[in-house]
Chains A and B, each alone.
Chain A
């Protein structure tokens, strides 16, 4: 039985190559009126996933009307054209059409997933939701009630308290520090007129991106683009939002919460997604904290010391300024020790750099894992949409590997020195941690 691993190596080489092409073929479809979509045509299953996004989302909430983007977009499927909320939902449901529209920090986005037999109706209903939403009073009042409840539930979570405290500290008054679900006060300020205006201002063709995957031809996509999105305004409000400026002094914030554990969240500024060094940063992050069970932080803080159940870091590319963020939880009496260890590992990473073998392991994973993100029509559509959002080429699925392979050890070292200095880390603690030093102390936000 000891030879089983050896056999595995043999099996790996002997296993016949899979017939399918390595990556799906992406084509760009342009409709008669000039709307573009990226398409992967695949007739394996009788269904279609369509995803779309408009640049700009929660970041456009007015300071005194936080929660507006989420509220306004949630109303689009609560009545449109001739159908009130019930009739609209009945039509979707009776044909098994899945439709969701929402808002996040940098975008308004949505998805329609339908069986091919219902595609006409699916696109028709989406067109109504996007261009003729009703904003009926009853549906509006209900959406406000539901969002009040949702933001109330959110506040009970240590995780949310930690992220909110950290973002407030590093983003200050910039909308990236806003509460996407709003507050009881801000929700009370929002009117139906606000919701209508927000949709008109920010859902326009000049910021639209579309991805389609499934059993549909380019000609059908072209027609659907015009019938679905053709009625949107050509231009929306100009984006005048300034980039994020991180404070000179790092923050260390304690949010007092009863309990046995402390949630620790941390972040530092990161280079932009369109920076040529982006792939080097991906590799550096993988080695430090992004690589699951084999990352340096996980090996040391979890496996060696048993101080936490898990720790991870990730790159967050954002339109107005990217960041690297991570989190862990530890027992209150070990929280100081755990955070010190994170900083020690980080300092060693920053001072000592990484090895050729670590860089190679990161490349192996990051290049080899691509098929894992393409396992369903909607997952593939998400990737196609993200490629447009990040302004990557149509051939990204093919070029990604070469871009990663081209990164040298020296590139990674340079990026670590420029962007991974642990002295830049801001941190929040939620709980009753022992042995941590903080610059500010708050109570839990309950309002």
Chain B
């Protein structure tokens, strides 16, 4: 609920379904307006006349990757504490005031960012702005509440990770892939380190990170610019900035591999009923807004677009060795970009054999290259997806907010269709060859207990 780990969403059928809907991470022309308040807080406005509602997101340009050594889980724990009381508002008051106006609120933490969001009838935007501004500066850390919330977070870790083989598997994958890089430890934190968090730790982190020049406000909905700016100035605009008044630079998370060789993670568990195969590949040399990166977007679409993707056609329809296959490319991050392949082997199929077939297939594909028709069809789907993305209230706040919060530009979103259109078949071939040549890859298999009947 109050927590979100992007890489975990990859799992199995889920990934296939996501790619089926064809809305990539940043496909849209939202026509945003941007402003900066005097205290350095960036404001982004997207008008959406489809409904009478408005979505507000506040993005903090700091996340779990910024947890101090030995204190993993601190950013996420602080996100939980943000729903407790402030100097003027008792615990529970925040949610009660929003609920009384028919609104909904939540938050999530990733390695790169922390984000808070509300959806509410558009004429009540002033309320959620005032409430967000209030907890950005006047949060109270009552010792008894801090303690019971720690128990909630530890229970959350049990529920999502320790009690589920998939949860443990993804942690092992991340540790193998990233090593000492901050992405190698879980957003929610290691259990023993969560247990050692004190209210003082959380308060120090809060003072450092929760300042207006480290935050971005995105408003999407049925609003007028002058109303949003007037309300934002009267609420967020009154927060004192910790440092200078320009927005703070986002801290990039560079990847310095110690042992760049392909690795394997194989895990067997009696609770697993169906094997899942996955490969994650890092491309530390690829810049997010480069031609190569846009070619990787197109490659991912060609490989994995629902039931017309090459992987589905080859492995699910023709070879019949998989029941589902997907690829995804993630370039919206402070750290290295990554590409993932996921396969759910068909009944009776040997996952190790399937892995070899995937390797052979991708090598052959790199040799044969891509036709203009294949690339053109994928480009057209991606451009259309940008239109569909406008039919969602939260999408612009999510997509623009995340891009800015990880240090990318507005044009990386707004000009994305143009960049996609410019990709050539040769670019896509280079993208695939780059992918296959990367030494920073981990191949994982999560499978039933050895000897269990298949």
Contacts and interface: CB of A to CB of B under 8 A. Distances in A.
Given A16-B227, A93-B306, A329-B155, A155 B273 contact: yes
A260 B163 contact: yes
Contacts of A36: none
A12 B120 CA distance: 12
Contacts of B317: 85-86, 142
Nearest to A154: B273
A142 B274 CA distance: 17
Contacts of A246: none
Interface stretch (A64-72, A163-171, A362-370): A362-370
A303 B131 CA distance: 20
B423 interface: no
Contacts of B384: 96, 115
A8 B274 contact: no
Interface in A342-365: 361, 364-365
B53 A156 contact: no
B13 A153 contact: yes
Given A2-B88, A98-B21, A375-B50, A89 B119 contact: no
Query: Which of B52, B127, B320, B384 is most buried by chain A, counting CB atoms within 10 A of its CB?
Result: B52
Interface residues of A, number: 84
Contacts of A431: 163
A330 B129 contact: no
Nearest to B52: A371
B50 A42 contact: yes
Contacts of A47: 387-388, 391
B179 interface: no
Contacts of B235: 4, 7-8, 11
Contact of B126 (A8, A146, A368, A369): A8
Nearest to A366: B102
B405 to A, nearest CB: 23
A212 B130 CA distance: 38
A243 B56 CA distance: 45
Interface size class of B (residues with CB under 8 A): 35 or more
Interface string B376-397: 0100110011011011111000
B158 A258 contact: no
Contact of A153 (B51, B88, B273): B273
A265 interface: no
Contacts of A380: 51
Contacts of B138: 1-2
A158 interface: yes
Nearest to B446: A156
A436 to B, nearest CB: 17
B158 A96 contact: no
Interface in B37-91: 49-53, 83, 87-89, 91
B163 A261 contact: yes
Interface string B217-242: 00000101001000100110011000
B137 interface: yes
Given A11-B127, A306-B155, A376-B392, A257 B271 contact: yes
B123 A145 contact: no
B50 A149 contact: no
B222 A18 contact: yes
Interface in B377-426: 377, 380-381, 384-385, 387-388, 390-394
B152 A93 contact: no
A45 B234 CA distance: 33
A150 B12 CA distance: 10
Contacts of A149: 274, 323-324, 344, 346-347
Contacts of B234: 7, 11
A46 B238 CA distance: 40
B101 interface: yes
B99 A361 contact: yes
B162 interface: yes
Given A149-B323, A364-B101, A20 B49 contact: yes
Interface in A1-28: 1-2, 4-5, 7-12, 14-18, 20, 22
Given A146-B324, A372-B103, A153 B125 contact: no
Given A153-B12, A153-B344, 16 more contacts: A2-B88, A4-B130, A8-B129, A86-B313, A93-B308, A258-B271, A259-B164, A261-B163, A293-B92, A293-B95, A306-B155, A309-B1, A365-B99, A368-B101, A371-B52, A444-B271
23 contacts: A2-B138, A5-B134, A7-B235, A11-B129, A15-B126, A16-B227, A85-B317, A93-B306, A94-B380, A98-B21, A149-B344, A149-B347, A156-B274, A292-B95, A303-B91, A303-B148, A305-B151, A309-B1, A309-B160, A364-B102, A371-B102, A372-B102, A376-B51
